[in-house]
Amino acid sequence: MVSKRAPSIRTSILLLTLALTRSSHARVPKYKPISRSCGVASPSTELQDSHRWLQHNEALDNDLWNASSVQQRHIEHHHHGSHPFGESLSSSNASESDRRRQALPSPSPLYVVDTYIHIVADSSSASASSPKYVTDTMISQQFAYLAHAYTNASIGYRLLGISRSTNDTWAANGDDAGMKRALRRGTYSSLNIYYQSLLQAGANTPGIPAGSTLLGFCSLPAAGVTSGGTTGGGSISGGSTGVGNTTPGTGTPTPPNSRYILDGCNVLSGTMPGGNMVGYNLGGTTAHEVGHWNGLLHTFNGNSCAQDDFGDYVADTPQEMTSTNRCPVYKDSCPSSGVSSTTYNGGPGQTGANPYGPQGYSGPDPIHNFMDYSDDVCYQGFTPGQGARMLNIWQIYREGL
Ligand SMILES: *[C@@H]1O[C@H](CO)[C@@H](O)[C@H](O)[C@H]1NC(C)=O
Ligand SMILES: *[C@@H]1O[C@H](CO)[C@@H](O)[C@H](O)[C@H]1NC(C)=O
Ligand SMILES: *[C@@H]1O[C@H](CO)[C@@H](O)[C@H](O)[C@H]1NC(C)=O
Ligand SMILES: *[C@@H]1O[C@H](CO)[C@@H](O)[C@H](O)[C@H]1NC(C)=O
Ligand SMILES: [Zn+2]
């Protein structure tokens, strides 16, 4: 549902109207399965610029395990001058993580994310006797799935707290800000995941008809949300609002975290391992949503095969025109885009008019990638390019904040 531009209200109404019209006619495929739906906002121009800069500047071999190369790109990015809080970060020294990574046979994470899990149940699923009750086992299995999903990307997660609440309004995404004001913990670099029993589309998921089932949504990283002390300078509620605006606002002084109180991931609790969302109940939704929190876009971002379309801005996820439903044996929605991974160099000769190699690698759609819409059994992992991208995004947007 996500494209580069948030659909206008008119488009949303049109979509809703189509949905209503269709359901009253016999043209709908009879047994249309539930498909994955994610309500992440469209990326801000600022975030897209960072992705574009990184796609151009990351090593083309996507050498994820080369920490010195990650650090070097990070420093260059800050010298590039587009981020307000670069200086304190660029003075950090990569030698410690370099040493750890080279000394250990299995990779230890380059950074560890403080994580808080909030179980938000409606009154009918709040008691242990309810079939929709989220057990402690489900929580630990979900956390293990998350940690495993990010091992190759060298990102660790440390579970610092679990809360349980019962609130029919919160469980149904009826007061996102109120829920997060009550429950959010940590700082901007802390991950908060809210597992809601009745998560559905609402005012905070533009482009998706209100009330439709949503497996999750998450905030993308935004620049400038921890700086400044007055309201009016930006909000992280939508990726395309005034984030990245470092001009002080004119409103009343507010505590810093009011700028990012909405930051975090909302996930339907039925998607946890053993949950009731058949096809999507192995824990993959959390891996997908947290990918957005770490800055990744859908592999089908842009929904086009156009030569100048950057898609997800990651070279080693082949361009994709459509999202994937369930787990097709083979899918190639952009059969003639990109160049082979062995010859890709991002040069102008390979990519028409665009010098940065927007299309990246050729090949079938990345249907096993966490950032596609495939079902949980289909999910396998992130690419090295996505891993490197998350490390760089972390250093630019969240580290130390
Ligand atoms: C790491 O990457 C940088 C830049 O891509 C390269 O110059 C360096 O040789 C690499 N180091 C190792 C140990 O591979
Ligand atoms: C990083 O730290 C090590 C040891 O503290 C030091 O020898 C090295 O010069 C530092 N490198 C940079 C680039 O600051
Ligand atoms: C439940 O949510 C509503 C709406 O945000 C709020 O007013 C109320 O205080 C919450 N109840 C509890 C027990 O937290
Ligand atoms: C991690 O990388 C290994 C080696 O490339 C691969 O076999 C495995 O499937 C990957 N796991 C995940 C969760 O990405
Ligand atoms: Zn998504």
User: What CATH number should be reported for the domain holding residue 138?
Assistant: 3.40.390
pLDDT (tens digit per residue) in 106-162:
456 788 999 999 999 999 999 999 999 999 999 999 999 999 999 888 899 999 999
Q: Is the pLDDT of residue 253 over 90?
A: no
Is residue 26 included in any domain, yes or no? no
**Rounded CA separation 207/16 (Å):** 9
Q: Which residue has the higher pLDDT, 249 or 113?
A: 113
**166 and 209 fall within a common domain:** yes
What's the total number of domains in the chain? 2
**284 and 304 fall within a common domain:** no
Q: Which ligand has an atom closest to residue 66 CA?
A: 1
**292 and 303 fall within a common domain:** no
Q: Do residues 83 and 222 touch, judged by C-beta distance below 8 A?
A: no
Ligand 2, atom 14: nearest CA belongs to which residue?
A: 93
Residue 307 CB neighbour total at 10 angstroms: 15
Q: Is the pLDDT of residue 293 over 90?
A: yes
Is residue 102 included in any domain, yes or no? yes
Q: How far is the CA of 261 from the centre of ligand 1 (A)?
A: 39
Which residues constitute the domain of residue 355?
298-381
List the alpha helices (DSSP H) in 150-207. Answer: 168-171, 176-183
Q: How do strand 111-121 and strand 155-166 relate by DSSP bridges?
A: parallel
Percent of the chain exceeding pLDDT 90 equals 51
Q: How do strand 265-268 and strand 111-121 relate by DSSP bridges?
A: unpaired
User: Half-sphere exposure of 144 toward its Cβ, with a 13 Å CA cutoff?
Assistant: 8
CA 13 vs CA 7, 136, 206, 240: distances in Å: 10, 40, 11, 20
Which sequence positions are flagged as catalytic?
Answer: 289
pTM, entire model: 0.76
**154 and 281 fall within a common domain:** yes
pLDDT band per the 50, 70, 90 thresholds, residue 281 = very high
- C-alpha triplet 320, 266, 39: angle, nearest 5°: 35
Q: Any residues with CB less than 8 A from the CB of 88 and at least 6 apart, and which? A: 400
> At 163, which amino acid appears?
S
DSSP per-residue string spanning 270-292: GGSTT-S-TTS-SSHHHHHHHHH
Residue 364 has a pLDDT of 97
Q: How far is the CA of 222 from the centre of ligand 3 (A)?
A: 28
Does ligand 4 come within 6 angstroms of the Cβ of 380? yes
Q: How far is the CA of 350 from the centre of ligand 4 (A)?
A: 29
**339 and 215 fall within a common domain:** no
Rounded mean pLDDT, 351-369 = 76
**Rounded CA separation 193/245 (Å):** 26
Q: Which residue from 58, 66, 98 has its CB within 8 A of the most atoms of ligand 1, so it is best to mutate? A: 66
Q: Is the pLDDT of residue 192 over 60?
A: yes
Q: Which two tokens stand for residue 48?
A: 């897209």
**66 and 192 fall within a common domain:** yes
Residue 93 has a pLDDT of 36
pLDDT (tens digit per residue) in 157-176:
999 999 999 999 999 999 99
Is residue 247 included in any domain, yes or no? no
SS (H, E, C) 89-114: HHCCCCHHHHHHHHHCCCCCCCEEEE
**152 and 113 fall within a common domain:** yes
> At 381, which amino acid appears?
G
**197 and 263 fall within a common domain:** yes
Of the candidates 281, 42, 264, the one whose C-alpha atom is nearest the C-alpha of residue 173 is: 264
Sign, CA dihedral 37-270-180-141, equals negative
**109 and 176 fall within a common domain:** yes
**324 and 347 fall within a common domain:** yes
Q: Do residues 38 and 65 touch, judged by C-beta distance below 8 A?
A: no
**262 and 366 fall within a common domain:** no
Ligand 1, atom 11: nearest CA belongs to which residue?
A: 66
**376 and 389 fall within a common domain:** no
Q: Which residue has the higher pLDDT, 79 or 401?
A: 401
Q: Which two tokens stand for residue 196?
A: 């809601």
Is residue 13 included in any domain, yes or no? no
pLDDT (tens digit per residue) in 214-224:
999 999 999 98
